[in-house]
């Protein structure tokens, strides 16, 4: 993933004519915090926070808990955060954190201890004006609430603007839980409207029906009831129904801890889902979901990168060459960090906004970034991912 991101960065910096120093700088983080967390029971875990760029504002980005987390991955994700906040015009920088852990193997008590010790290891480097972490893969409002509490204990800061993605009771924003999925829907539908296909009912599949993918589908069910969700997958299985699945029912099933292999109905594999004859393929799982091994099977005209880097560099080249439209991650999935920003603004002003107000502002950011992308692609005849990177770098380096 790091190599692929660097290849796009090389192409984008070249296109902008940025000098060699800047080219080098954009690939380097300002700071990397690497430490080990030891639990009282003797288990140890590697922990990271990479602070990539803060020229536009405090570092911003989630913390993921996953057994495959590596320093390289966190580096790449932190770079993508700097590009993402710039691409959508937020006054924030980019950072990312992670712990190499499978949280499903920990008890709630161990998870809380791990989380609090992560903050103890980092508290001097983060804060409302310095670096504002948020949830990411396998982290949520409860985990963020523990972080806020630990941070308050260590520093005395009571603004709760030190983290975003908190539960509503603890200073979180209405609309934050659905924001990434909702933002993806807004970007895709805006793109379709710009193309003149806004009215067309679409058949779509969601790869990775977790926090992001499920809210994408429930938002569609709400905003575009004429669209049909034909398949949805978790890490093991996909459920399929050509006549349409009920997004709210699937979301409830997952929230209650269900696995699709136990869901009543027809099952297909993840690879079969990728290859479905649908209009839209929503990629909301992990990185590299569409790569050399399966890119030739993709039939969907539109792909939406709701995960970070779910389509590899080669797969981008191949699919764009065949006129597939791929809404790039740094715009498609920016809804989460946009509403994180709105949460941070509310915390600092000691305000609580209605869900409508939050959603209206989210829509404004998403539409504006999608319009910029559309115009740039139309004027310059370049791929959409490259266009996204160029637009972000222009803002980062004032070009
Ligand atoms: N983890 C999300 C992302 O990758 C949200 C980050 C944030 O809200 O700061 O964009």
Map out the domains of the chain as residue ranges.
30-169, 173-399
For residues 117 and 35, is the Cβ–Cβ distance under 8 A?
no
For residues 395 and 14, is the Cβ–Cβ distance under 8 A?
no
> Of the listed 27, 60, 84, 96, which one is catalytic?
96
Percent helix, percent strand, percent coil in the chain, to nearest 5: 50, 15, 35
For residues 273 and 207, is the Cβ–Cβ distance under 8 A?
yes
pTM of the model: 0.96
Considering the four listed CATH numbers 3.30.70.2700, 3.30.360.10, 3.40.50.10860, 3.40.50.170, the one that applies to the domain covering 30-169 is 3.40.50.10860
Is 254 designated active site? Answer: no
In this predicted model, which residue has the larger pLDDT, 23 or 342? Answer: 342
* Domains 30-169 and 173-399 in one fold: yes
| Ligand 1 center to 95 CA (angstroms) | 9
- Give yes or no for residue 79 CB within 6 A of ligand 1: no
Mutate to test the pocket of ligand 1, among 81, 177, 286, 332 (most ligand atoms within 8 A of CB): 81
The crossing angle, in degrees rounded to 10, of helices 313-321 and 2-16 is: 60
Q: For the CA atoms of 149, 154, 160, 163, what is the dihedral angle to 10 degrees?
A: -80
Considering the four listed CATH numbers 3.40.50.970, 3.40.640.10, 3.40.50.1460, 3.40.50.720, the one that applies to the domain covering 173-399 is 3.40.50.720
Percent of the chain's residues with pLDDT above 70: 100
Q: Look up residue 315 and give its two tokens.
A: 């797969």
Which residue, among 124, 31, 118, 25, has the nearest Cα to 71 in the 3D structure? Answer: 31
- Give yes or no for residue 96 CB within 6 A of ligand 1: no
Strands 31-38 and 44-53: antiparallel
Q: Residue 399 has what pLDDT?
A: 61
Radius of gyration of the chain (CA): 20
Encode pLDDT of 36-93 as tens digits.
999 999 999 999 999 999 999 999 999 999 999 999 999 999 999 999 999 999 999 9
């Amino acid at each position: 993933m790091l190599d692929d991101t660097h290849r796009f960065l090389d192409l984008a910096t070249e296109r902008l004519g940025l000098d060699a120093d800047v080219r080098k700088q954009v690939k380097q983080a300002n700071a990397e915090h690497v430490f080990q967390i030891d639990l009282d029971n003797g288990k140890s875990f590697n922990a990271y926070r990479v602070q990539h760029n803060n020229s536009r504002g405090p570092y911003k980005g989630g913390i993921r808990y996953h057994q495959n987390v590596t320093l390289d991955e966190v580096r790449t994700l932190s770079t993508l955060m700097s590009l993402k906040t710039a691409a959508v015009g937020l006054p924030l920088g980019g950072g990312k954190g992670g712990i190499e852990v499978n949280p499903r193997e920990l008890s709630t008590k161990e998870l809380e201890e791990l989380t609090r010790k992560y903050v103890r290891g980092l508290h001097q480097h983060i804060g409302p004006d310095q670096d504002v972490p948020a949830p990411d893969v396998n982290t949520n409002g409860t985990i963020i609430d523990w972080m806020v509490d630990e941070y308050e204990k260590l520093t005395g800061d009571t603004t709760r603007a030190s983290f975003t993605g908190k539960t509503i009771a603890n200073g979180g924003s209405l609309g934050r839980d659905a924001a990434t999925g909702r933002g993806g829907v807004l970007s895709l539908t805006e793109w379709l409207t710009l193309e003149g296909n806004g009215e067309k009912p679409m058949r779509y599949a969601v790869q990775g029906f977790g926090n992001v993918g499920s809210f994408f589908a429930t938002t569609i069910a709400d905003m575009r009831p004429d669209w049909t969700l034909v398949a949805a997958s978790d890490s093991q299985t996909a459920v399929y129904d050509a006549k349409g699945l009920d997004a709210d029912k699937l979301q409830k099933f997952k929230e209650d801890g269900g696995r699709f292999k136990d869901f009543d109905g027809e099952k297909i594999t993840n690879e079969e889902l990728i290859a479905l004859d649908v209009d839209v393929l929503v990629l909301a799982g992990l990185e590299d979901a569409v790569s050399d091994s399966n890119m030739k099977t993709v039939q969907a005209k539109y792909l939406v990168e709701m995960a970070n880097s779910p389509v590899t560099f080669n797969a981008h080249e191949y699919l764009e060459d065949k006129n597939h439209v791929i809404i790039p991650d740094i715009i498609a999935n920016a809804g989460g960090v946009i509403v994180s920003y709105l949460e941070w603004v509310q915390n600092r002003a000691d305000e609580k906004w209605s869900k409508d107000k939050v959603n209206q502002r989210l829509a404004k950011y998403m539409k504006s970034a999608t319009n910029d992308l559309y115009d740039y692609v139309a004027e310059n005849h370049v791929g959409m991912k490259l266009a996204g990177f160029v637009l972000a770098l222009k803002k980062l380096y004032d070009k």
